Amino acid sequence: MSFPFDITSSIAAQRRHLADALRPMDTDARMNKVTQTCIETGGCMILPDTSGGWGPLYAELHMMGLYHSGNSADEAIANWIKATQRCTPIPPARVA
Protein backbone atom coordinates (compact mmCIF):
# COMPACT_ATOMS: atom_id res chain seq x y z
CA MET A 1 0.00 0.00 0.00
CA SER A 2 1.38 3.39 -0.87
CA PHE A 3 0.24 6.81 0.17
CA PRO A 4 0.03 9.79 -2.19
CA PHE A 5 2.58 11.62 -0.03
CA ASP A 6 5.07 10.90 2.72
CA ILE A 7 3.27 11.68 6.00
CA THR A 8 6.46 11.82 8.09
CA SER A 9 8.11 14.39 5.83
CA SER A 10 4.91 16.44 5.73
CA ILE A 11 4.68 16.62 9.54
CA ALA A 12 8.40 17.43 9.83
CA ALA A 13 7.99 20.23 7.28
CA GLN A 14 5.00 21.64 9.19
CA ARG A 15 6.98 21.52 12.46
CA ARG A 16 9.92 23.30 10.83
CA HIS A 17 7.64 25.95 9.31
CA LEU A 18 6.04 26.57 12.73
CA ALA A 19 9.46 26.75 14.46
CA ASP A 20 10.68 29.26 11.88
CA ALA A 21 7.54 31.35 12.46
CA LEU A 22 7.88 31.20 16.28
CA ARG A 23 11.56 32.23 16.47
CA PRO A 24 11.20 35.98 15.82
CA MET A 25 7.97 36.38 17.85
CA ASP A 26 7.82 38.04 21.24
CA THR A 27 6.83 36.02 24.34
CA ASP A 28 3.10 36.78 24.28
CA ALA A 29 2.74 36.13 20.55
CA ARG A 30 4.67 32.85 20.89
CA MET A 31 2.45 31.67 23.74
CA ASN A 32 -0.70 32.54 21.78
CA LYS A 33 0.54 30.75 18.65
CA VAL A 34 1.62 27.65 20.62
CA THR A 35 -1.72 27.54 22.46
CA GLN A 36 -3.60 27.85 19.17
CA THR A 37 -1.46 25.16 17.52
CA CYS A 38 -1.91 22.79 20.48
CA ILE A 39 -5.68 23.18 20.22
CA GLU A 40 -5.73 22.73 16.44
CA THR A 41 -3.36 19.74 16.28
CA GLY A 42 -4.15 17.91 19.53
CA GLY A 43 -0.97 19.02 21.29
CA CYS A 44 -0.49 19.53 25.01
CA MET A 45 1.10 22.30 27.09
CA ILE A 46 1.44 21.81 30.85
CA LEU A 47 2.50 24.92 32.75
CA PRO A 48 4.36 24.88 36.08
CA ASP A 49 2.52 25.82 39.25
CA THR A 50 3.42 29.40 40.17
CA SER A 51 1.20 29.68 43.25
CA GLY A 52 3.63 27.84 45.52
CA GLY A 53 1.25 24.94 45.97
CA TRP A 54 1.35 21.41 44.71
CA GLY A 55 1.71 21.00 40.96
CA PRO A 56 4.13 20.49 38.11
CA LEU A 57 7.58 21.98 38.66
CA TYR A 58 8.41 22.52 35.00
CA ALA A 59 6.62 23.23 31.73
CA GLU A 60 6.01 20.48 29.19
CA LEU A 61 5.18 20.93 25.51
CA HIS A 62 4.08 18.13 23.20
CA MET A 63 3.15 19.42 19.78
CA MET A 64 3.15 17.86 16.31
CA GLY A 65 4.81 14.67 17.52
CA LEU A 66 7.72 16.35 19.30
CA TYR A 67 8.09 16.75 23.09
CA HIS A 68 10.24 19.13 25.11
CA SER A 69 10.27 20.68 28.57
CA GLY A 70 11.76 23.63 30.44
CA ASN A 71 11.64 25.52 33.74
CA SER A 72 9.07 27.91 32.25
CA ALA A 73 6.71 27.99 29.28
CA ASP A 74 9.14 30.30 27.45
CA GLU A 75 12.01 27.86 27.99
CA ALA A 76 9.92 24.85 26.93
CA ILE A 77 8.90 26.63 23.71
CA ALA A 78 12.50 27.70 23.01
CA ASN A 79 13.69 24.11 23.60
CA TRP A 80 10.93 22.78 21.30
CA ILE A 81 12.05 25.20 18.57
CA LYS A 82 15.69 24.08 18.92
CA ALA A 83 14.72 20.41 18.84
CA THR A 84 12.55 20.96 15.77
CA GLN A 85 15.39 22.61 13.92
CA ARG A 86 17.77 19.75 14.78
CA CYS A 87 15.23 17.04 13.99
CA THR A 88 15.31 15.23 10.67
CA PRO A 89 12.49 13.05 9.43
CA ILE A 90 12.90 9.29 9.58
CA PRO A 91 12.54 7.81 6.11
CA PRO A 92 9.53 5.54 5.70
CA ALA A 93 10.13 1.79 5.90
CA ARG A 94 10.23 0.03 2.57
CA VAL A 95 8.34 -3.21 2.34
CA ALA A 96 9.40 -5.56 -0.41
Which pLDDT tens digits describe the chain residue by residue (96 residues)? 455 567 777 888 889 899 999 999 999 999 999 999 999 999 999 998 878 778 788 999 999 989 999 999 999 999 999 999 888 655 555 565
Q: Where are the domains of the chain?
A: 7-86
Which of 93, 91, 84, 89 has its CA nearest to residue 61?
84
- CA distances to 6, 8, 56, 67, 74 from 49, rounded to whole Å, are 40, 34, 6, 19, 14
What pLDDT was estimated at residue 93? 56
Secondary structure element (H or E) that encloses residue 92, with its range: none
CA distances from 57 to 68, 77, 83, 93 (A): 14, 16, 21, 39
Instruction: Please give the pLDDT value at position 72.
Output: 93
